Amino acid sequence: MAAVKDKVEMRNEIGHRSEINPDYFNQGRDSEPKKPGSDTVQHYEIGEATGFLRPFGRTYREALENLITGSIQIIGLDEVKAQYAEQWGQIKHNVMEIADAYISRKLGRHDIFVPLDEGHFALLFAEATREQALKKSKTIAQDLVNKLFGELPGGELISVEAAMLEIEDFDGLDRIRSLEGLVKCFREAIGKAKERESRSFQERETELNVRFRPLINRHKGFVGLYEAVSMTEAEGEKADVTEDDPLFNASPRLRAEMDCVILREIGTVLEKLGGPGNKPVIFLTVHFETLANSYFRSKYARILASLPRYTERHLILNVQDIASGVPNSRYRQIFTSLRQLVLGFTFEVGPHWTDFAAIRDLPILAITLAGHESLELSEIETLFRRARENGKKCIWRSLDNDALARLAFKMKIDYVSGPIFSTLQPAPAKPFTLPK
């Protein structure tokens, strides 16, 4: 595969990344597709044919519970199919075969590999928590991108998503004696889970409402920037629509869909700002994976483009869940298509984030921190000091106690917000000066 990698890297360098010769994926392998029913049960695929659940628990029920609640990850090639749509019919067999062989070799002795529909694989890790399984799967996905296409920025070409399955989704798993039976069982279970996810998403969408909280510029004694907070209201209780919600935490796809729904809601608010007079700036959080995924980035950009023209001067995107080690070129690829549609971007990071060199010359207006404890005071001070040294403003939001508020004032943070300062409001107000 080294020769394959060299060919793709050379093709990338001369600017023809999408023009892949179908023979590229067919070097040194039989191009004849497998005959139906020719799949054999391999140990690395489902363990022992009659007892592949044994490493997951002492009984069938215990094994199934451990498997479902902890470690199933779905790897998808949807972005690969979209990127090479014109050639997919010619290259898909060999891409799938390479992916099949490569992923299988990366799994442990008791891990399970299940090919699903075209372009999707399920990985079942025998000895891993959901977090560990997700980390392993993302590493495999990034390595697979490099294996197929050479060293490319943007491992999201291959998606990784936890499968939120329940025992009731499975029917007859204990009676499976073949790979075909295992695939059929998991396909049906994942289908049921997706239907359930879709219903849950629609319920949350109908409950959604957006509220606003002022970001206070204490230096100038001024409020002109409002943080959008997306809330759901069910049974009289209000909660952040994505905070600690397993539906969104485990599914970047659903989280991205909700980001798009929230943007449409913000669009309605922006349209109401169309009268004369000063308009506030809206500070809207969006997840990095939403913008990194080419499909959702395009969808998000289309929604932005449909908003009033003055949106480009009155909307800042606060990009959340920034990954470490993303190169400057990748950030440019992501944000270039959105740059003309918004006022700018802020990066919401953790106290230990240090990748300032990667955001040089980008329209990143500020570094944002959300919440945290005073135990990390030294790291927080270092983060904001480095932000200023790199010409970025500092924002500290979601402050919920007096101690953190005082620390923010002591550090002369440019913008602060949170329950300690103000309650949520149904709409942003026009900019105003705070009384002295």
Do the domain assignments include residue 175?
no
Clarify whether residues 330 and 217 are in a common domain.
Answer: yes
Query: Does one domain contain both 136 and 261?
Result: no
* Total domains present in the chain: 2
Same domain, 129 and 251: no
d(CA 20, CA 157): 16
Residue 242: CA count within 13 A, CB half-sphere: 23
Q: Please report whether residue 179 resides in a domain.
A: no
Q: For position 219, which CATH number holds?
A: 3.20.20.450
Q: Decide: 376 and 347 in contact? Cβ < 8 Å.
A: no
Beta-sheet pairing, 281-287 with 237-240: unpaired
136 and 281 part of one domain: no
With respect to residue 170, please indicate whether it lies within any of the assigned structural domains.
Answer: no
Range of the domain at 210: 198-433
* Cα 305 from Cα 299, distance rounded (Å): 10
Examine residue 319 and state whether it is found in any structural domain, yes or no: yes
Cα separation, 84 vs 92, in Å, equals 10
pTM of the complete model: 0.71
Look at residues 211, 224, 215, 230 and name the one whose alpha carbon lies nearest to residue 417: 215
Q: Choose the final residue of a domain: 143, 163, 183.
A: 163
In a domain, 261, yes or no: yes
pLDDT digit string (tens) for the chain, length 436 residues: 444 344 334 334 433 344 444 443 444 344 444 444 444 334 344 444 335 566 666 766 666 666 665 567 777 787 777 777 788 888 888 888 888 888 888 887 777 777 777 777 788 777 777 777 777 887 888 778 777 766 544 445 677 776 667 777 777 766 766 657 766 777 788 788 778 888 888 887 887 888 999 999 988 889 999 999 988 765 555 666 656 566 666 577 888 888 999 999 999 999 888 766 788 999 999 999 899 888 889 899 999 999 998 899 999 999 998 877 888 888 988 898 899 999 999 999 999 899 999 998 899 999 999 987 666 788 999 999 999 999 999 999 999 888 889 989 999 999 999 999 988 899 998 888 888 7
Among 139, 163, 187, the domain-final residue is: 163
Same domain, 212 and 352: yes
Q: Where are the beta strands (DSSP E) in 168-207?
A: none
Same domain, 98 and 202: no
185 lies in some domain: no
In a domain, 125, yes or no: yes
Query: Residue 359 domain-assigned?
Result: yes
| DSSP-assigned letter for residue 399 | -
Place of tokens 């959604």: 208
Distance of CA 291 to the CA centre of its chain: 8
For residue 210, what are the contacts with CB-CB under 8 A and spacing of at least 6?
A: 228, 229, 230, 231, 262, 265, 266, 269
